[in-house]
Amino acid sequence: MRQLIIVTEQLEECKQLILHGGVPQLRMATLLADNVAEVLMHRRIEDLFVYSGWYENMLKRVLSYPKDPEREGLISKFKAEIIPEPRKKKIRRFFDEKVKFLSEEKKEIEPVLGSVLTCMHRYRNEAYHQDKLRNEIARPVALLLFEVVCDLFVDLAPKSLGVSSEDNWKWFEQRYGVMPFDTANEAGRSAIRGHLRAGLPLSLEELRDNLLSHLNERLESAYRALDFMIENVAKIKTRHDAMKFAQYWASRKDAQSPPSDEEYNKFVPLRSLADLEHWADELSVLEKMDSKLTVFGEFVRREEELEPIEAIIHDQAAELDHAIQMEIDRMRGK
């Protein structure tokens, strides 16, 4: 019961941060919710590992039986339920492996929900380790992750709950309207989820509009960077030329030989302007989806396709701008 209380209180703190609404608070809410997701998955996985241990013990006993068809059938059955130690170690260590194990192998989490968790964890790592903040979509991301984690709270049920006679859970009953032992059943946990979600609505339309607006702005930003190259490099006449220019120089970062016109003319870029235009045209597919999880999943897919070429375009525009500023400073005698 104490573990469950820790989770609910952490979600309450997460909710207050989201209600505050500032980007730093939304960032912290995402970190907190991500941690709750990992804790809930960890606890469920450890329960499943216990079952694996039981099957290991049963297998050891069956292996000592005389050989017969029934024995071979049991051996095959028990082996299928045993999780090897190297696999356990990997699952315990990595977030994505936890998601994969529970969604693909044990079917405890819907695959689309697992995909959202994996992406949100990537966002969390970017914010925590790289100081990369997605300010424009910080609120819908935090709200969606909070919803997903509240669902995990209901779906990943604890196998047992312990309550001491010395514990006083009156405050818990008053806050959530359920007795402590009610949390052992889905109805009790659903009541807690309803309390946690109250006041934090995220409509499908709001999520879709935010994500579409964000992707459209990123595409427009990429076009502006291409136009900047057109304005400042004589041989670049079109956005198509600018796409080739950006990818050519990105490909030469580790090149030992000097650039040449012949090499440039032969260079075939991996991405073309048509790719950007195609992505822009296909964004309307999000408007036809009727689930927040599928909308976000499609957004992530589009984002992952866009990010590599987006980074190349902006990096080359930034390097060009830096070179221009250096030339201006040189001409000024700085």
Question: In which band, very low, low, confident or very high, does the pLDDT at 160 lie, cut at 50, 70 and 90?
Answer: low
Sequence-distant (≥ 6) Cβ neighbours of residue 304 within 8 angstroms: none
pLDDT at 166: 65
pLDDT exceeds cutoff 70 at 232: yes
pLDDT exceeds cutoff 70 at 159: no
Asked if 27 contacts 127 with a C-beta cutoff of 8 angstroms, the reply is yes
**pTM as predicted:** 0.84
User: 254 vs 49, which has greater pLDDT?
Assistant: 49
Please tell me the distance from the alpha carbon of residue 258 to that of residue 322, in angstroms, as a whole number. 20
User: 331 vs 312, which has greater pLDDT?
Assistant: 312
Q: Look at 12-16, 59-63, 127-131 and tell me which has the smallest mean pLDDT.
A: 127-131
Q: How much is the average pLDDT of 296-300?
A: 91
Which run of H or of E encompasses 47? helix 23-63
The CA distances from residue 334 to 177, 239, 328, 329, in Å, are 71, 33, 9, 5
Please, how many CA atoms are within 13 Å of residue 88, restricted to the half-sphere of its CB? 14
pLDDT exceeds cutoff 90 at 158: no
Q: 156, exposed or middle or buried, with CB in 10 Å at 0-12, 13-18, 19+? A: buried
Please tell me the distance from the alpha carbon of residue 95 to that of residue 57, in angstroms, as a whole number. 28
Sequence spans of domains, the chain: 2-197, 204-331
pLDDT exceeds cutoff 70 at 72: yes
pLDDT exceeds cutoff 90 at 231: yes
How many Cβ atoms are within 10 Å of 332's Cβ, its own excluded?
7
pLDDT exceeds cutoff 80 at 248: yes
Q: How much is the average pLDDT of 170-174?
A: 81
pLDDT exceeds cutoff 80 at 73: yes
Q: How much is the average pLDDT of 79-83?
A: 88
Task: Give the pLDDT confidence of 303-325 residue by residue, as tens digits.
Answer: 888 999 999 999 999 999 999 99
Q: How much is the average pLDDT of 98-103?
A: 94
Nearest to 119 by CA among 93, 156, 145: 145
Question: In which band, very low, low, confident or very high, does the pLDDT at 228 lie, cut at 50, 70 and 90?
Answer: very high
Question: In which band, very low, low, confident or very high, does the pLDDT at 162 lie, cut at 50, 70 and 90?
Answer: low
- Average of per-residue pLDDT values in the chain: 89
